[in-house]
Amino acid sequence: MTYVAFLRGVNVGGKGMVSMAAIKEALVAIGLSDVRTYINSGNVLFSTRAPSVARLTTKIEKAFEQHTGMEIKVLVMDHAALKKLVDAIPRTWVDDKTMRTYVLMLWKEIDDRGILDRLPTMPGIDELKYVPGAVIWRVDREDVSRSHMNKIVGTPLYKKITIRSANTMRKLDELTSRDA
């Protein structure tokens, strides 16, 4: 089965710097196959027959710590879950010159519809859509500075979220579809 591991806080803003080659090496060392990375911000595609996402996640996190010396939190998603999430992104919500669209993937501890009430949104500026496992956030580029979503950075809630652009999520879905 094809999976994507989303690494939290890797190679973002000059922090948590780790080579994708080291990441790939760590996953190959634990027996995962077809390991490849997509862009430098911690997206790793791989194949395995492992049936438990929870055990797989723990195994991957331990491998990263052993190979990189860093504690890297990981959210693992199989192709079916990724496709379901990407299909929930409204087609008109894109990441381009006019708007920003991000997918905030949620760790289980905060994954419920109530997350919408806990995010620092600005009515009329931020649009949010909850889907199990994620919040999809859209804002017009001209209003990014008026959004309050940046206030989440550094909070305990933020540590249970990993964020990717809608474009990245769509591309990962495309890449895993080829293997499905």
Task: Provide the residue range defining the domain that includes 138.
Answer: 81-166
Residue 180, domain member (yes or no): no
State which of 78, 93, 110 marks the end of a domain.
78
**59 pLDDT more than 80:** yes
State which of 18, 45, 78 marks the end of a domain.
78
Average pLDDT over residues 155-171: 95
Same domain for 107 and 59, yes or no, is no
DSSP, residue by residue, 34-103: EEEEETTTTEEEEE-----HHHHHHHHHHHHHHHHSS---EEEEEHHHHHHHHHHS-TT---SSSEEEEE
* pLDDT given at position 12: 64
Same domain for 90 and 103, yes or no, is yes
Predicted TM-score of the model (pTM): 0.92
Same domain for 149 and 74, yes or no, is no
List, for residues 131-162, the tens digit of each pLDDT value.
Answer: 999 999 999 999 999 999 999 998 999 999 99
List, for residues 106-129, the tens digit of each pLDDT value.
Answer: 999 999 999 999 999 999 999 999
